[in-house]
Structure 1
Amino acid sequence: MKNNFYKALFLFTLSLFAVSCSNDDDNHDDHDHDHDSAEHTYVRILLSDEKTTELTLFDPSEDKISSFTAKFPKSSLYTTESGRFAGIIHRDNNLIETFDSGLEMHGDHIDVDDVPKFGFLTGSAQKPTHFKSKIGEVLTFNDGDGTLSVGKESEINKSGAVFKTVNAGLLAHHGAMATFTNGTYAITEKDNSVTGTLPEKVKIIDNTGKTLFDAKIQTKGIHGNASDGVYAVFGSSSGILVVESNGNQKLINHPEDFGAAWFGSILETASAGKFIGYTAAKGAYLIDVVAGTVKPIIANTTIMQCKVSYDLKKLAVLLHSGDLKIFNISSQQVEKEIKATTATATDATLKPQMAVTDKFAYITSPTTGELLQVNLSSSEIKKTKVSATPYMITVIGYENSESHSH
């Protein structure tokens, strides 16, 4: 009997706790259901616009839109390693801006540390193009002069903070870099053995630009790269170039049926040593740099967007038909297929862009000025008006709903 009394008391206390934790007046069961289908409280979606300087910050859990003004339209958006900040790249205007979500991760919960706002940290550079963020740094490769711009996440809110320039003595080219966990960088090099703007090889430099390891392998052109801190992987027409911080380099062959096709995009995953290679000519493939294998996840030539989820565990593929396919990267199996948008012509000037969390896919609709929020469990689609012609999209914040006051 006593046992039942304590059990009832415990359940009563639990229900009180549930009500106090909930922002709504639903009972506990409904709250659980809502929680499963709702976005994490501290996820934010940042969007730029093609024709206006408007930046839109969407808070899915509050269904709230905030607008900010960037320096120029048509900016590219990227999330920093911590998730708190975004890098805003104005390539044609030679400018880098930063943005702060105001959210701070504290172990198991999130603090609202500040209001969302632009960061103080800015940079002027010659055609900043390729963005990366690792070991607390924010980097761009600048196509206009072959330099790197390096900033620190810790200085984004520091008055007067600017990106510093690292000059590795490179020719101007459409290049890329990757950061190793020891603080050195793999950086592309142009020697003009191939005509055009693409580089042909990769060397390793320190943070002053000094060469630590010369390039070992010459390719016929490099584009696209990713790094897990141990391996830096570059897409190249000669094969997949894998570079290690000790200077080791190797090429992994493309699948036999590739012909002249090669991966112009390489994406990071949550699995060490495993990357996604993507080419519109063939599809998306899992690259295991340790085993040296390349296996198809989806062989398809009608892919419009190919993105990894915010936690790097899912691969999301949006076809020109409007069909969205979600794959589990570790099993390479399809988890979900949803008709997400209307069809987009392959020659459309503005195509939908996509960002994905573990619960939702967010897809821009540039023709209607909307953001589509696709629920990956229920397949429901919600539309929110964002800006005139939404251009780029990125997720910032945290896949977490625990606040300080829990």
Structure 2
Amino acid sequence: MKNNFYKLLFLFTLSLFAVSCSNDDDNHDDHDHDETSEEHTYVRILLSDEKTTELTLFDPHEDKTSSFTAKFPKSSLYTTESGRFAGIIHRDNNFTETFDSGLELHGDHIDVDDVPKFGILAGSSQKPTHFKSKIGEILTFNDGDGTLSVGKEADVNKAGAVFKNINAGLLAHHGAMAAFTNGTYAITEKDNSVTGTLPEKVKIIDNTGKTLFDAKIATKGIHGNASDGVYAVFGSASGILVVESNGNQKLINHPEDFGTAWFGSILETAAAGKFIGYTAAKGAYLIDVTANTVKPIIQNTTIMQCKVSYDHKKLAVLLHSGDLKLYDLNSLQVEKEIKATAATATDATVKPQLAVTDRFAYITSPTTGELLQVNLSSSAIKKTKVSSTPYMITIIGYENSESHSH
């Protein structure tokens, strides 16, 4: 009987020990593999420099930087629709080049298809300024002569690939364009009814530059636009101009308290027909083009950067004070507030730039040559030396950690 009792006691203790160890393992796992504590394996951050031709590619998961040489300094960086490539615009040097992350999305996982490198696809045009990427295309609007330049993502690494110019018979102006999923484009036009460089109207053209639908609405000046492929939305002094591929056009009024303020920046979201309008004079607002509503997300006149997250589901706002605010675009509620940087003077020549994934915010520090990596879960901030004067920033790659399983 005694022996049985001790046997039972021994087994009971053993089982307790096993449970305890198992719990320890779970905790250990959670701690080590808490998915929000690390960036996705296949996210990359690309940065340009204000004073040098250096491009820096940062791999947050490996905590590794690589350096590349762009054609010119002070380049603007943009991500293509697929996420694999970046468009590099040298406006003042009339040149656009491309960069390949080497990562390829294969359904539910990522293949490392190539090493990071410049693409072959490049092109010369007059003051390429406005960048868009839709339906597998890479587009710039060229302010110098009012033309469009178009390249294909599929041609980035193709021998002899160059951007093709589309001439729609426009006057030179500070313009913009948007691609519709049917392959046509909404493009701004200038008739000089408004003084200055801003266009007044938007027409629809095909890929040869032929006009399919004339402009229907004249505005007091247009700047900033976005498109979800169905609606093209332009910021204008007369209201929010909404253009459809069938030629339909309408204006949505600004909120009543706007006075002369208007949205000079329009951003895309993950929700169909919903866009963000931003003006430094008022703040950021959610525009619903089907309901014709404009709702405030943040009303603030000290915003330094206003960016949608990489998945277009959140809005990140960096104030001049250095405070970072993250908003859920579904609820329009603030989700996180972090003191991310020191304050920046409103008249600073080069200001911090912002890019956000679902796990981290990345902020350039032009004065220290660093990239700040802000953990949106823990609020921890890590600094990485990138280049002498980081200028522009963009995310390339994928919010995915699944590799090809053999």
- Common fold: TM-score over 0.5: yes
Residues 1:193 and 2:167 aligned together? no
Residues 1:98 and 2:89 aligned together? no
> What is the distance in 2 between the residues matched to 1:322 and 1:347?
15
Deviations 1:70-98 (A, max 9, x none): 00000000000000000000000000000
Equivalent positions of 1:384-399 (< 5 A) are: 384-399=384-399
User: Deviation of residue 139 (structure 1)?
Assistant: 0.2
Deviations 1:17-70 (A, max 9, x none): xx9xxxxxx96344332x331000000000000000000000000000000000
Residues 1:213 and 2:213 aligned together? yes
Q: AA paired with 1:373? A: Q
Equivalent positions of 1:368-387 (< 5 A) are: 368-387=368-387
Residues 1:41 and 2:61 aligned together? no
Deviations 1:345-380 (A, max 9, x none): 001111000000000000000000000000000000
> What is the distance in 2 between the residues matched to 1:323 and 1:56?
25
User: Residue 348 of structure 1 aligns with which residue?
Assistant: 348
Q: AA paired with 2:210? A: K
User: Deviation of residue 341 (structure 1)?
Assistant: 0.3
Sort the Cα spacing of 1:257 and 1:29 in 2 relative to 1 into closer, same or farther, 3 A.
Answer: closer
User: Residue 280 of structure 2 aligns with which residue?
Assistant: 280
Equivalent positions of 1:4-403 (< 5 A) are: 28-33=29-34, 35-403=35-403
Determine helix, strand or coil for the equivalent of 1:129.
strand
Determine helix, strand or coil for the equivalent of 2:194.
coil
Which consecutive unaligned segments of at least 5 residues does structure 2 have?
Answer: 1-21
User: Deviation of residue 159 (structure 1)?
Assistant: 1.1
Point out 4+ residue stretches in structure 1 off by more than 6 angstroms.
Answer: none
> What is the distance in 1 between the residues matched to 2:36 and 2:300?
32
Q: AA paired with 2:197? A: T
Q: AA paired with 2:215? A: A
User: Deviation of residue 226 (structure 1)?
Assistant: 0.1
> What is the distance in 1 between the residues matched to 2:107 and 2:28?
29
Q: AA paired with 2:206? A: D
> What is the distance in 2 between the residues matched to 1:405 and 1:159?
31
Q: AA paired with 1:28? A: D
Which consecutive unaligned segments of at least 5 residues does structure 1 have?
Answer: 1-14, 20-25
> What is the distance in 2 between the residues matched to 1:330 and 1:218?
33
The structure with the largest alpha-carbon Rg is 2
Q: AA paired with 2:184? A: T
Determine helix, strand or coil for the equivalent of 1:92.
helix
> What is the distance in 1 between the residues matched to 2:28 and 2:301?
48
Determine helix, strand or coil for the equivalent of 1:121.
strand
Determine helix, strand or coil for the equivalent of 1:122.
strand
> What is the distance in 1 between the residues matched to 2:43 and 2:133?
19
Deviations 1:159-209 (A, max 9, x none): 110000000000000000000000000000000000100000000000000
Q: Once superposed, what is the RMSD of the aligned Cα atoms?
A: 1.5
> What is the distance in 2 between the residues matched to 1:31 and 1:319?
33
> What is the distance in 1 between the residues matched to 2:403 and 2:32?
16
Sort the Cα spacing of 1:154 and 1:283 in 2 relative to 1 into closer, same or farther, 3 A.
Answer: same
Determine helix, strand or coil for the equivalent of 2:217.
coil
Q: AA paired with 1:32? A: H
> What is the distance in 2 between the residues matched to 1:100 and 1:344?
33
Deviations 1:226-250 (A, max 9, x none): 0000000000000000000000000
> What is the distance in 2 between the residues matched to 1:373 and 1:147?
38
> What is the distance in 2 between the residues matched to 1:268 and 1:28?
37
User: Deviation of residue 146 (structure 1)?
Assistant: 0.2
> What is the distance in 2 between the residues matched to 1:337 and 1:28?
28
User: Residue 4 of structure 1 aligns with which residue?
Assistant: none
Deviations 1:204-225 (A, max 9, x none): 0000000000000000000000
TM-score normalized with structure 2 length = 0.93
> What is the distance in 1 between the residues matched to 2:36 and 2:47?
25
> What is the distance in 2 between the residues matched to 1:62 and 1:231?
39
Q: AA paired with 1:210? A: K
Identity %: 87
Determine helix, strand or coil for the equivalent of 2:120.
coil
Number of residue pairs matched by the alignment: 384
> What is the distance in 2 between the residues matched to 1:218 and 1:193?
9
> What is the distance in 2 between the residues matched to 1:57 and 1:188?
34
